[in-house]
Structure 1
């Protein structure tokens, strides 16, 4: 694929989430609503929400790859899924490869945010103004641009879902690769 760092980063964030879900690593401030009641039963041996997230992200990658490469080998069950994704999608055209890279990048951001790393959203540029001033808005579950001039038509702060941020990042990287040669 064009940007090996995208899948490597997604794999590293997935590894962290697996360690958090199994209890071998401390869980950070996870996005989403917190529980307000005291549990009656002992906690599950693994974090069910994180497990569901990991299963869903793995399934998304597998479904995309198999749609265009039905002969791809057996997909791994851990973060090696991103290496498998790269190896199984070498023959894709540029548009589909960029779409797959955007999936991996978005999933990397999701993994990082779920692990409590809100700084991960700062690195991609804003899809609206190309500045590096994004911040995670947990209430909206979106990235918000902190640039005072990057506003919606209604005069509100621009917000972007992670899919839009990832697509913009991958398109920018592709444009930079084309102009660098």
Structure 2
């Protein structure tokens, strides 16, 4: 599921820079813990595409009392040539025991594109549907499946899940 070239991986988050097209996997990133307290940890990640000379820098922040995972990304062209990049990112959500049937996916968009789902239970692959769908509620998410949206279609650059039972 690689868009025209790139993807970088950090756990369940994939960005489309820097990607190794020969190995079909991300180039390794360096990292450094830049802040670590009992309440908050911040990690700086970086990697450079050796062919296009594009530096990817990322800052990942997690807090003890929050389920929010904050990811900030900066791309810098370190070469002389200009590049047009189709930038994509992916989030893989594998919820644990903290979700209940009334937890919902929150995506500030009005439409999503259906990906793969067994027997097309989410809808026909490739079709664009209005958001939210009934399966945006975790209790109605029958089995693994995928969907996507374009950042230009979003009213804000975030996605999330809300557990209304635990208020998390």
TM-score, structure 2 length as denominator?
Answer: 0.32
Bigger share in strand? 2
Which one scores higher on RCO, CA 8 angstroms, separation ≥ 6? 1
TM-score, structure 1 length as denominator?
Answer: 0.30
Bigger share in helix? 1
